[in-house]
Amino acid sequence: MEDSVSTRVKLSILAVGLLSFTGILIETSMNVTFPTLTKELNVSLGTVQWLTTGYLLLTTIVMSTTAYVLKKFHPLKIFIFAAALCLVGSLVCFMAPNFPILMAGRLLQAVATGLSTPLMFNLIFEEIPPTKLGLYTGLAGVVISLAPALGPTYGGIINRLWTWREIFVGVFPLIIILFVIGWFTIRGKAYGTEGISFDYLSVIGLAIVFSFILFTFDQAGSHGWLSSRFLLWVIISAIIVVIFARYNQKSQRQLIDFSILKLPVLRLRLFGYFSLQFINIGLSFVLPIFAQTALKLDSAQAGLMLLPGSLLGAIVGPIAGHLYDKKGATFPLMISGVLLTSGSLLFWFQSEKLTLLSITLIYIVVRLGFNFGFGPSLSDGSMQVQGRKKSDQNSLFSMMQQYAGSLGTNVLSVVISAVALTSGTKNEVLNTVLGTKTDFVLLTVLSLCVLVSVIYVYYRYEKEN
């Protein structure tokens, strides 16, 4: 009986999971509305993409604080605050008369998601027995991974039937329902922050580091990879990263205990976790743009082509978690690496001949690979630490997973822009096809690195056990 999970615990995880789902759903549903927003709000695509990049950046920064926040505040208080911000942010976005107000609403929602996702995993790590950890992290992974792919479908259909504003109306009932569920079911306690001081300088430093990395890639999109401006920003960003790393080594106060990165298996699982989300969010951004620009599909069709892969991936998530509980991390992670690499290669080789059907089928392969690896990577990472360090591990993985989405969106869009600068043509369709092909090459290399990391961990650390 000690391995059973009560209905209250299940509902508490569901409530927080739905809050994370709502934030991520809105984030990715806005991607297919970018062509509409550029005309309606009279801003460039480079400006409007900050609705995604800026949202993910702030979410990442908020997540970096949760190692402290989860120790300081009761889980229910965190949940109520996050749900309230999500509701207010949705109202602001719905009524936004211009881009700055819309951006402000999205940033309120970013804070909500930044708190809710680590809270969801914290409830799992605290209240779920080890024998079912893989299953529940797999289910939580479904929440995080299903929303990015359902978003374009939801956003495309709503934008086609009504306007982009109704995207925010549609989530009002869900926010109210999850708030009621969470109010009555979320329990738990804060561990306390005795002997721990909140490191405000680290928050500022982390925000600067993450922002400068994004701005550096922006320079490549505007001026090219070999431009002096891009190279200058690379040097500045590298210096800032070194300064931040040195500060964290010397400081008595720590935002996150980065010493856990000295654990080799945790470090490599974090790399895999980060890379999976980079690929996941990156593709949910690139494929709809490719479909609308190169294939001349409407926003609803561009969104719907991702739906079969999303649904099949959602089914696979808990199965992968069960495999982890029974057989360990290597088996599901090997399947993940093989499927991801195969799918990325197919996108690369077929990039100039892609159709609605072929994108849908190849995306199914990639999504199955993603869901086979996402939950087990997190579960195996959490097993490398104990006690209070679990909140550090949780915050670090949540933070880097979120930043992976921001960086994936930024880098893949920049690659398309940079290709357009050097292609020698102003043909938008040709530039999009060439840029997307380069994106697929990048994703193939990254997928292969994930597969190699899984093989390395098995032979270096797990085979003897």
pLDDT reading at 344 higher than 90: yes
What are the two backbone dihedrals, phi and then psi, of residue 3, each rounded to the nearest 5 degrees? -95, 0
Give the residue from 394, 404, 400 showing the smallest Cα distance to 120.
394
Clarify whether residues 30 and 73 are in a common domain: yes
Clarify whether residues 237 and 301 are in a common domain: no
pLDDT tens digits, 113-122:
888 888 888 8
In a domain, 28, yes or no: yes
Last residue of a domain, one of 254, 270, 286: 254
In a domain, 335, yes or no: yes
pLDDT reading at 92 higher than 50: yes
Long-range contacts of 412-416 (CB under 8 A, 24+ apart): 412/282, 412/285, 412/286, 412/439, 412/442, 413/49, 413/221, 413/285, 413/286, 414/217, 414/218, 414/220, 414/221, 415/221, 415/439, 415/442, 416/221, 416/286, 416/289
Clarify whether residues 260 and 213 are in a common domain: no
Residue 166 neighbours by CB distance under 10 Å: 13
Looking at residues 217-228, what average pLDDT do you find?
Answer: 81
pLDDT tens digits, 389-403:
777 787 788 888 878
pLDDT reading at 1 higher than 50: no
Token pair recorded at residue 153: 């479908």
Query: At 285, is the pLDDT very low, low, confident or very high (cuts 50, 70, 90)?
Result: confident
Neighbouring residues of 213: CB distance < 8 A, sequence distance ≥ 6: 237, 407
pLDDT reading at 334 higher than 90: yes
Rounded Cα distance between 84 and 183, Å, is 12
Looking at residues 450-464, what average pLDDT do you find?
Answer: 86
Which domain CATH number covers 186?
1.20.1250.20
Quote the radius of gyration of the chain (alpha carbons, Å): 21
Looking at residues 156-179, what average pLDDT do you find?
Answer: 84
Query: What is the separation, in whole angstroms, between the first and last Cα of the chain?
Result: 29
What are the two backbone dihedrals, phi and then psi, of residue 262, each rounded to the nearest 5 degrees? -70, -15
Clarify whether residues 167 and 285 are in a common domain: yes
Clarify whether residues 355 and 368 are in a common domain: yes
The residue segments making up the domain with residue 241 are: 199-254
SS3 category, 328 = coil
Mark 404-431 as b/e (b = at least 16 C-beta within 10 Å).
bbbbbbbbbbbbbbbbbeeeeeeeeebb
143-147, 242-246, 347-351: which range is least confident on average?
143-147
The angle subtended at Cα 103 by Cα 395 and Cα 26, nearest 5°, is 65
In a domain, 1, yes or no: no
pLDDT tens digits, 228-284:
888 999 999 999 989 888 887 777 666 677 778 888 889 999 999 999 989 988 888
Higher pLDDT, 19 or 197: 19
Clarify whether residues 264 and 393 are in a common domain: yes
The DSSP secondary-structure symbol of 437 reads H
65-69, 204-208, 235-239, 315-319: which range is least confident on average?
65-69
Please tell me the predicted confidence (pLDDT) of residue 464.
Answer: 61
Q: What's the structural domain count of the chain? A: 2
pLDDT reading at 4 higher than 80: no
The DSSP line for 64-86 is HTHHHHHHHS-HHHHHHHHHHHH
In a domain, 13, yes or no: yes
pLDDT reading at 45 higher than 70: no
Higher pLDDT, 259 or 106: 106
In a domain, 389, yes or no: yes
Give the residue from 170, 410, 370, 173 showing the smallest Cα distance to 273.
370
Rounded Cα distance between 74 and 390, Å, is 17
Residue 348 neighbours by CB distance under 10 Å: 18
Higher pLDDT, 286 or 191: 286
119 in Cβ contact with 70 (< 8 Å) = yes
pLDDT reading at 187 higher than 50: yes
Please tell me the predicted confidence (pLDDT) of residue 380.
Answer: 86
Rounded Cα distance between 108 and 22, Å, is 13
- Residue indicated by tokens 């942010």: 89
Clarify whether residues 228 and 145 are in a common domain: no
Token pair recorded at residue 436: 């997307």
Clarify whether residues 107 and 219 are in a common domain: no
Please tell me the predicted confidence (pLDDT) of residue 142.
Answer: 74
In a domain, 291, yes or no: yes
Clarify whether residues 232 and 283 are in a common domain: no
Q: Report pTM.
A: 0.80
pLDDT reading at 300 higher than 80: no
- Residue indicated by tokens 């949202």: 55
Higher pLDDT, 152 or 82: 82
Please tell me the predicted confidence (pLDDT) of residue 195.
Answer: 60
Clarify whether residues 310 and 377 are in a common domain: yes
Q: Of 27-36, 59-68, 320-329, 448-457, where does the model show the most confidence?
A: 448-457
Q: Of 30-34, 210-214, 384-388, where does the model show the most confidence?
A: 210-214
> What percentage of the chain reaches a pLDDT higher than 70?
94
pLDDT tens digits, 18-40:
898 888 888 778 777 777 787 78
Dihedral angle at the C-alpha atoms of 12, 15, 16, 18, nearest 10 degrees? 150
In a domain, 2, yes or no: no
Please tell me the predicted confidence (pLDDT) of residue 141.
Answer: 72
Looking at residues 420-424, what average pLDDT do you find?
Answer: 74
69 in Cβ contact with 115 (< 8 Å) = yes
Encoded amino acid at 17, one letter: G
Q: Of 28-37, 324-333, 365-374, where does the model show the most confidence?
A: 365-374
pLDDT reading at 387 higher than 50: yes
Clarify whether residues 276 and 352 are in a common domain: yes
Clarify whether residues 248 and 338 are in a common domain: no
Last residue of a domain, one of 254, 271, 291: 254
Query: At 191, is the pLDDT very low, low, confident or very high (cuts 50, 70, 90)?
Result: low
Last residue of a domain, one of 218, 235, 254: 254
Average pLDDT score, the chain: 83
Token pair recorded at residue 234: 């690379």
Rounded Cα distance between 30 and 165, Å, is 10
Please tell me the predicted confidence (pLDDT) of residue 215.
Answer: 83
Please tell me the predicted confidence (pLDDT) of residue 3.
Answer: 66
In a domain, 428, yes or no: yes
| Three-state secondary structure readout of 368-393 | HHHHHHHHHHHHHHHCCCCCCHHHHH
Give the residue from 106, 111, 121 showing the smallest Cα distance to 75.
121
pLDDT reading at 43 higher than 80: no
Please tell me the predicted confidence (pLDDT) of residue 54.
Answer: 82
